[in-house]
Amino acid sequence: RGVSSVFLVTNSPTEPDDERVAGAAAAAGVRHLVKLSMMAVEEPGADDFITRRQRQNEEAIRESGVPWTFVRPRTFMSNTLSWAPGIRSAGVVRALYGDAPVACVDPRDVAAVAVAVLTGAGHEGRAYAVSGPEAITARE
């Protein structure tokens, strides 16, 4: 009780935490639930496990009755740090998206959007796609 806003980051794609949190938020009278989701939920061809799960999470939040906002980032630029061992050992980058251009985003930019949504008015019922300024390939 006494919580007006919740920022929800899914801990595990295999556990239904979002549905439980949304239910608890509704029961507690939370006025705004902001969910860190992913941009791929709006892409019809994206059918991997995590994207399907995030779609289900968003639907559970919508059905909870709590006013919601979805922050949907593209790939985090900081994830490219996982390339370091492959670059060091073999001089190779192994990226999940091959030569497809991706507009990676700095997590700090995503945080700034989340803060604006949590502290500003008029964001309920909206979804914000958050990406970097330019789509580039892993090779670039």
| Cβ contacts of 89-98, under 8 Å, gap ≥ 24 | 93/138, 93/139, 95/138, 97/138, 98/137, 98/138
Whether residue 56 is contained in a domain is answered as yes
Query: pLDDT tens digit string along 83-109?
Result: 888 889 998 887 766 788 888 899 999
| Distance (Å, whole) CA 47 – CA 94 | 21
Whether residue 33 is contained in a domain is answered as yes
Instruction: Give the model's pLDDT for residue 107.
Output: 94
pLDDT at residue 8 tops 90: yes
Query: pLDDT tens digit string along 9-64?
Result: 987 767 778 999 999 999 999 999 999 999 999 998 888 888 899 999 999 999 99
Whether residue 98 is contained in a domain is answered as no
Q: Residue 37: which domain range?
A: 5-74+106-130
| Distance (Å, whole) CA 113 – CA 35 | 12
pLDDT at residue 114 tops 90: yes
Whether residue 40 is contained in a domain is answered as yes
Tell me the CATH number at 115: 3.40.50.720
Whether residue 15 is contained in a domain is answered as yes
Whether residue 122 is contained in a domain is answered as yes
Whether residue 37 is contained in a domain is answered as yes
How many domains does the chain contain in total?
1
E-state strands within the chain: 5-9, 32-36, 68-73, 126-130
